[in-house]
Amino acid sequence: MRRTALLAATAGACASGTYRPTDVDLEPDPDSAPDDVALATSLSAFDGQNPNGAWQVVAYDDQANDTGSVAGGFSITITTGPAAIVVPANDGNSDGPGTPYPYPINVTSPGSVTDVDLVLSGVSHTYVDDLQVLLVNPAGGKALVLSEACDEATVVNATWTFDDAAGATFPDDTPSCASGTWKPGSYDAPALPAPAPAAPYATTLGALNGAPAAGTWLLYVADTAAGDGGYITGVQLQVATDAPPETTIIARPKRSTTKRKATIAFTSTVFGADKAVSYQCKVDRKKWRSCSSPLRLTRLTAGKHKVRVRAVDGSGKLDPTPAVTRWKVRP
């Protein structure tokens, strides 16, 4: 859909200056205004649209017997924000893939995938029904997350989280694509342009479970029809795996000290879907006990000391390789 901001001067003198767009009960001349436009009275009507291509300024006089000119011509100042993906890659006058195509996402998590969610932020597009979004894992599994959904809706700066566990599926015929968390919504599955893998495609993210998580995931975004376009400013992949947590000590005593107290701080990386984490500590020859960061020790005796720390994730998995720190207390 093409959009037009209707600009008109207020009654009276029109001195040089900077003005907000104004519409004083004017209607465009059918013979002068562009066809198939949605009229607006604010320049914000262009927000969220692909700026590339030819812009037009149409000036018309709605009364006879007066003439004028714009002797100095005109200029347009456009402010754009960074985009992770522009779709389609051209000015919207034709269909096709976005750019980059594909969009690569590097994942370093160990283990096999148990859950994956996709977050697209800053989504703006003038005709969402044209969008296709395909996610491919490093093993070649492919899930069509979005295709021909949301009727004829236009979105500006939406954030969509695609999650198989969401309460509702991304809408089909409803002309609203509000920010939110949705099950994937694919209502037609035409093959995406090469080099995207060929159809058929799975329509749930769960189809990507079970494969190794580490590697380069590929996101293919394409536009199926000419005349509209948009962009995505952020892409985030949330991958959970069956790997146990990893513990890291981030603050420790000096290797040799006269101090009879010590502070040890630690953190962890949790790879499971349940991000809850707790810790267990083993001080010297004592038993493992629950602890939290920072661990503070007092009344230490002279000699060598060792502390081991292991994280426990929300499902009860223990870090099999606890983090260790060693130091010596001098007399």
Cα–Cα nearest to 218, from 200, 241, 240, 235: 235
> Could you say which of 217, 241, 265 is where a domain stops?
241
- State the amino acid at position 134 in one-letter form: L
Task: Give yes or no: residues 206 and 90 share one domain.
Answer: yes
**1 pLDDT exceeds 50?**
no
Cα–Cα nearest to 70, from 82, 78, 58: 58
Tell me the residue range of the domain where 230 lies: 85-241
> Could you say which of 198, 213, 241 is where a domain stops?
241
Give pLDDT tens digits for 136-162: 999 999 999 999 998 888 898 999 999
Task: Give yes or no: residues 199 and 122 share one domain.
Answer: yes
Task: Give yes or no: residues 221 and 287 share one domain.
Answer: no
The DSSP element (H or E) to which 147 belongs, if any, is strand 142-147
Place of tokens 């389609």: 88
Give pLDDT tens digits for 68-80: 777 777 788 877 7
**Number of structural domains, the chain?**
3
Residues 97 and 218 sit within 8 Å (Cβ to Cβ): no
Strand-pairing partners, residue 235, are 120
What CATH number does residue 253 fall under?
Answer: 2.60.40.10
CA distances from 323 to 92, 247, 310 (A): 54, 6, 6
> Could you say which of 34, 62, 79 is where a domain stops?
79
Residue 49, SS3 per DSSP: coil
Task: Give yes or no: residues 65 and 13 share one domain.
Answer: yes
Give pLDDT tens digits for 8-34: 544 556 777 787 777 655 555 555 555
